[in-house]
A and B are shown apart, each in its own frame.
Chain A
Amino acid sequence: MSSTGQGKGWDVLDSQDRARFEQLVLPHLDAAFNLSRWLLRSRSDAEDVAQEAMLRAFRFFRGFNGGDARAWLLQIVRNTCYTWLEKNRQVELMTEFDEDLHQQSAATPEALAIAGDNRERLARALETLPVRFREVIILRELEGCSYKEIASITNVPIGTVMSALARARQRLQRALTQPAQQEAPHEL
């Protein structure tokens, strides 16, 4: 209600805000970078985008309500990544998300364990997944997010998180156990 509220509250962040931001949000830089790296499939692009997202987060910092700082930051990181993809690699966002997958993966746990043993192979398989599948795997398996956190980061209901994870895992298993040449992911 005060006359300074609007101008100061939204626009100008001072050194006190910066200290708080560095304490609450900046420690999650690795999470921001990791998510960007896997969404963009490139370390150097991820570096730019993670930095941009971090600065954007700072501008919005007064809107942060003090909850889960990592989830709040990752939501901004994800949006920044999608904006970047839209601008630079629109094709990736058009990859069919709801592809019918009623085909049961024939992979046995043993076959998977062998195929998944190789970091390079696993990374490549992960990168062949459409970005919306890739992101739930990264958030769940690498970042250890709960369904609720993933739902808030990716802006979908919790039930959708579950079905996206189910499909993503299935596709990843398939990519891992199929010959490499069939994996060509981003054709139109």
Chain B
Amino acid sequence: MSCDFSGTLLHAYLDGELDAMRAADFERHLETCRECTATLGAAESLRSSLQHAQLYETAPAGLRKKIRAELKVSAGKASGSSVAAWRWLAVAAAILLVTGVAWFALPHFLATSMQSSVTSTEIVDAHIRSLQAGHLTDVASTDQHTVKPWFDGKLEFIPPVHDFMDEGFPLLGGRLDVLGERNVAALVYGRRKHFINVFVWPTKEPDTPIHPPGSRQGFQWVHWRHQGMEFCAISDVSAQDLHELAQLFIK
């Protein structure tokens, strides 16, 4: 295998486990790497076969009943001992140790890409979730002076809130959201008849320029870091529109 990515990152990309920036990078890599394109095609085809083959086997009807009955008995007299508890703890400690050691051996880029960052799947999911009726905004206002103070006390940081009505991106409101296990601010902008979510959360990483766009399931996103904040703008509008909006944030 000549391309290193086809046996590693490609799968994280396929599974939506890369963060927004790296997913976009990988798409750019795909444009020029024939091997990855072929491998990805094969992996996608395998996935759809697996998902269509109805391989999932559900428990036989009687099993749930049987277990219920056993639980009933067990709930009365279940017994263990503190020895068992200690043994369990020792196993847990051993596992932690092994996991810890293995973790340090991992290349750094993986650690940062897959552990600490928000994955593209999470961003797409959050965007789709927000489009369900009544979920788009917690505070609906086109006034930045209403939206900004609304976040006050709800988050441990203050997101930059600006209305870009004159530039064609009216502010529609804001909302609290969760990406991964992180609380983030979501700013909602309109673009013609479409919605754009701009997710904002604090970062200690240095500023980055607006990253070339990534896409999944018909949604596009762009990602950038600016003055201690990390941003990801996602929508079904064109990548160019998103880039334009991102530039307004950096100005």
Contacts and interface: CB of A to CB of B under 8 A. Distances in A.
Interface of A: 6, 10-15, 17-18, 21-22, 26, 29-30, 32-34, 37-38, 43, 46-47, 50-51, 54-55, 58-60, 63, 102-105, 107-110, 112-113, 115-119, 122-123, 126, 137, 140-142, 146-147, 155-160, 162-163, 165-167, 169-170, 172-173, 176
Interface of B: 1, 7-12, 15, 17, 35, 38-39, 41-51, 53-60, 63-64, 66-68, 70-72, 74-75, 78-82, 85, 88, 95, 98-99, 102-103, 106-107, 110-111, 114-115, 121
Contacts of B121: 146
B115 A158 contact: yes
Contacts of A103: 1
A104 B35 CA distance: 10
Given A26-B64, A122-B50, A14 B58 contact: no
B54 A112 contact: no
Contacts of A34: 56-58
5 contacts: A11-B80, A17-B75, A32-B59, A55-B71, A115-B49
Contacts of A38: 55, 57
A54 B12 contact: no
B17 A157 contact: no
Contact of B78 (A30, A37, A59, A113): A59
A140 B55 CA distance: 13
Task: Say whether chain A's binding surface is mostly helix, strand, loop, or mixed.
Answer: helix
A55 B75 CA distance: 10
Given A17-B75, A157-B106, A158-B114, A54 B17 contact: no
B140 to A, nearest CB: 32
Nearest to B59: A33
A134 to B, nearest CB: 11
Contacts of A163: 7-8
